[in-house]
Structure 1
Amino acid sequence: MQPRDLSTHATYEAGRGIEEVAREQGRDPDEFVTLSSNENPHGPAPAAVEAIRAAASSAHAYPKAAHADLTDRLAEEWHVDSAQIWLGNGGDGAIDYLSRAMVDPDDTVLVPEPGFAYYAMSARFHHGRVRTYELSKDDDFEQEPETILAAAEHDRLLYLTSPHNPSGSTASLETIERIARETADETLVVVDEAYGEFAETDSAVALIEGRDGFDARDDVAVIRTFSKAYGLAGVRLGYAIVPGTWADAYARVNTPFAASEPACRAGLAALDDTDHVEQAVDSARWAREYLASTVDAPAWPSDGNFVLFDVGDGTAVAAALQDRGVIVRDCTSFGLPGCIRVSCGTESETKRAADAIGDVLATRDGRPTADEEVSRS
């Protein structure tokens, strides 16, 4: 007895956590900071923590009311109908629901390279075939319509990421609208806005609803998550916003009660705590500017809560940083072996990371480290 042939399926490679690295090195976890998974360094909103505690006593019941309350609240937030909100177990859960709704066996799905590995994983889980379009380092990972349209065929799903992970580039509404307009009639353009709160670009929800001077479209969907700006990565809560013309497909593709009671209650509480989200966004914008201006390595402009650096050998630099207690993302798994991605931490974490990267690069290049410069002066 064997599972079906999974030889073409990749495994998801997550950023390394403190406990994992500390156990591996036999060190105290308190020696480390982790800036590898683009998490909110300020944690969840206090109100969300209280909501999770309160929901624990009703964990025996299915989340009927909580699920409906959250979809209604999100619909109000985005000015859409409740049926257009597809809750999922994280943003990846929402991606799976779109795959279930759209992809027949052997349909093609077009994904960015580099990009979030789960786009392709979900397509293959649902017996789709994966095709890629390249976002080039030399072009600052710019999401040019010409590049994407040249790669597009009769794909069932086409993924854009704004801000893009791992580079931080964004796609304008004009770009997204042109791609949706010029791709095949059967193509759904999925805009992943997991990091949308950190960017100053407008959400592609405007294209679904026909706002801001655009005609309403039924071939665009948007992915959002509570994992990043809201600090709820551990409860796994995300959602898709889909066109109203086919929103009722959710009832046929979702799992029973797609998000848990604690997750829904935490999401509702987090939506009310706008100060916490503003703190996370302001902190990330400061940190990415500090990193880009302080670290002596080429960096790409980012609208996410992270910065991508070209350090020549991402694996070696990430390992050396790990020895110094700073965990960052080696981007080899993204097809960028020369790069590391550094998440935006608190002020102290960000400064520690910048200093550590500077010391690692200086040691490698035979230059004085920061401490050596101080001692010489």
Structure 2
Amino acid sequence: MEPRDRSSYSVYQAGRGIEEVARELGRDPESFVVLSSNENALGASPAAVDAIRDHAAGVNRYPKSSQVDLVEAIAESWDLASEQVWLAPGGDGALDYLHRAMLDPGDDVLVPRPGFAYYAMSARYHHGDVATYSLSKADEFAQTADVVLDAYDGERVVFVISPHSPVGSEMPTSEVERLAEETDDETLVVVDEAYAEFSESESKRTLLGEREDVAILRTFSKAYGLAGLRLGYMMTPESWADVYARVNTPFSVNELACRAGLAALSDDEFVTETVETARWARDYLHEHLDAPTFESGGNFVLVDVSGAAPSGEGEENAGSAVADATQRRGVIVRDCSSFGLPDCIRITTGTREETERAVEVVNRVLAEVPEA
């Protein structure tokens, strides 16, 4: 017996983990700085960690009341009805619920290139088809309604990432509104705001009070530091009140994630420190790297290393050459080849010490690698 042919499906390529790299190089994990996966440089919300400890003995129970409590807390924080919050195991889980609700076999989604691979993966899992629109490096990856509309052909769901990973650019609320206005009535515009806490722009949540064709994706992975618990949610139009219960899986978010999320929502001090640290590091990367960078609203910076030529056997582009060289020197950054940006690396904002070390190492690598 064989599974269905999935050879045409793309594979999500995560940033390399510290244990994986340390084993490969035969070194102590503590000797590395990991700035490849946009994780929180300060760790997890201390309030969330305390909540996990306090509730660990209760994991023999299904997360019934905790899910309800968390949904209500999120809804209150955004001034939404509880029915508008679709709690999920990570932002990717929320995408699955959305596609269950929105897609019939053969429906299309429109996704950015470069962009998060799971938009397309989830759509295909739910028997949808995928089209793409391109963000141009030559235009500083500018995100406008026109860029999307030039590729739009009546797709059922259109994805926008603001701030966009890996490039950092943002789409203003006015442009999202125009995009929704100029697409078909049966097209949903989804704005992925996974990195929005690090931006100085306001959330697109205001559009939910005005329209029924916009939804917003959020996560606890970044600003709250709960990536390992897999906790996210979708904010949806109020008219979708009964849909979530029909597409959700039973007790989809585990008890400890719910308890941690509840605690993290109130940990304003940690979020403030996280955002301030990320913004400082972002500015430091822009100012001190010896390579062109792109403006970013997230907790990362995209770096153009096209001036560096591959120097090792099997290396196909500048991004992989620089990423490999920095890794050997103890700093793990993201080679952006899998995003279709082979001449770029992405550096997550770290602590002050980590960020300064990353800049020192990357600049040293850029000085040593022969120019293309």
Superposed pair shares fold, TM > 0.5: yes
Tell me the TM-score normalised to structure 1 length.
Answer: 0.95
**Counterpart Cα distance in 2 of 1:246 and 1:68:** 18
Name the residue aligned to 1:235: 229
- The amino acid of 1:34's aligned partner reads V
Structure 1 residue 200: deviation in Å?
Answer: 1.2
Contact map agreement 1:153 1:184 (CA 8 A) in 2: no
Identity %: 59
Name the residue aligned to 1:187: 187
Name the residue aligned to 1:5: 5
**Counterpart Cα distance in 2 of 1:147 and 1:262:** 41
Name the residue aligned to 1:62: 62
May I ask how many residue pairs the two structures share in their alignment? 360
Matched, 1:317 2:328: no
**Counterpart Cα distance in 1 of 2:326 and 2:208:** 43
**Counterpart Cα distance in 2 of 1:104 and 1:4:** 19
**Counterpart Cα distance in 1 of 2:17 and 2:130:** 30
**Counterpart Cα distance in 2 of 1:133 and 1:175:** 16
**Counterpart Cα distance in 1 of 2:28 and 2:233:** 37
Superposition RMSD in Å: 0.8
Name the residue aligned to 2:272: 278
Contact map agreement 1:301 1:307 (CA 8 A) in 2: yes
Structure 1 residue 252: deviation in Å?
Answer: 0.4
Contact map agreement 1:85 1:240 (CA 8 A) in 2: yes
Structure 2 counterparts to residues 362-377 of structure 1, below 5 A: 362-365=367-370
Name the residue aligned to 2:212: 218
**Counterpart Cα distance in 1 of 2:95 and 2:54:** 29
**Counterpart Cα distance in 2 of 1:139 and 1:88:** 35
Deviations 1:204-261 (A, max 9, x none): 110001xxxxxx1000000000000000000000000000001320000011112111
- The amino acid of 1:272's aligned partner reads S
- The amino acid of 1:124's aligned partner reads R
Deviations 1:124-144 (A, max 9, x none): 110100000000001111112
Structure 1 residue 365: deviation in Å?
Answer: 4.2
- The amino acid of 1:75's aligned partner reads A
**Counterpart Cα distance in 1 of 2:227 and 2:114:** 22
Structure 2 counterparts to residues 22-101 of structure 1, below 5 A: 22-101=22-101
Name the residue aligned to 2:361: 356
**Unaligned stretches of 5+ residues in structure 2:** 307-317
Tell me the TM-score normalised to structure 2 length.
Answer: 0.96
After TM superposition, the runs of 4+ consecutive aligned structure 1 residues lying more than 2 A away are: none
**Counterpart Cα distance in 2 of 1:349 and 1:235:** 24
**Counterpart Cα distance in 1 of 2:222 and 2:348:** 11
Matched, 1:123 2:128: no
Contact map agreement 1:287 1:345 (CA 8 A) in 2: yes
Q: Secondary structure of 2:11's partner?
A: coil
Deviations 1:91-112 (A, max 9, x none): 1111111011001111000000
Q: Secondary structure of 1:138's partner?
A: helix
Contact map agreement 1:162 1:170 (CA 8 A) in 2: yes
Name the residue aligned to 2:199: 199
- The amino acid of 2:364's aligned partner reads D
**Counterpart Cα distance in 2 of 1:84 and 1:290:** 39
**Counterpart Cα distance in 1 of 2:42 and 2:351:** 7
Q: Secondary structure of 1:143's partner?
A: coil
- The amino acid of 1:349's aligned partner reads E
Q: Secondary structure of 2:54's partner?
A: helix
Contact map agreement 1:108 1:131 (CA 8 A) in 2: yes
- The amino acid of 1:203's aligned partner reads S
Structure 1 residue 11: deviation in Å?
Answer: 1.1
Contact map agreement 1:35 1:343 (CA 8 A) in 2: yes
Matched, 1:256 2:261: no
